[in-house]
Amino acid sequence: MILTDKRILEEINKGSIVIEPFDRKYLGSNSYDVHLADTLAIYKDDILDARKHNELEYIRMHDHDGFLLLPGRLYLGVTQEYTETHTFVPFLEGKSSIGRLGIDIHSTAGKGDVGYCNTWTLEISVKQPVRIYPGMPIGQLIYFEIGGEVLVPYNRKRTAKYNKRTKRPVESMMWKNFNSRLIGSK
């Protein structure tokens, strides 16, 4: 079941959902709009390796110029909003206005976990050149009820790779899966 605007407000008041900064005008009937922060990132190398730590180059966008996204390139963005979800499963979806510009904000990672506490890194790609700006609405958070008790929330998992609080986009940490597998096999 998806939470309604009334229920999202109730859960914010209880502290089971945290959105910072929160502005009531961005609360939809059953979602909350999140906004693009001023930092983007691109990988330094053209060829990425899932077993290695791929380094990022950070780009600061400016309000008046924005930044031109080009097809054939992966950009990592980040939400302005820091969120915490302690008893619900958060989903980040693109806004229809963004989709109609040919912008995808995530290819595979729309679902969060109970216990996710951070900003949201966006995996941005475009169909044709598009200029974007910091502060623009970029997606919407939808909250789903869960059935049953969670044994270990994401923010308490020893193996969680994206717990470090940040205001910048975070690169793939897939390489940690390979390193932990290798360490565990010795």
Query: Which residues, 6+ apart, have CB-to-CB distance to 22 below 8 Å?
Result: 12, 81
User: What radius of gyration, in Å, describes the C-alpha atoms of the chain?
Assistant: 17
Residue of 185, 88, 92 whose CA lies nearest to 146: 88
Rounded to whole angstroms, the Cα distance separating 105 from 170 reads 14
Helix or strand holding residue 183 (H, E): helix 174-184
For residue 84, indicate whether it is catalytic.
no
Q: Which of 81, 123, 149, 171 is an active site residue?
A: 123
Active-site residue set: 123
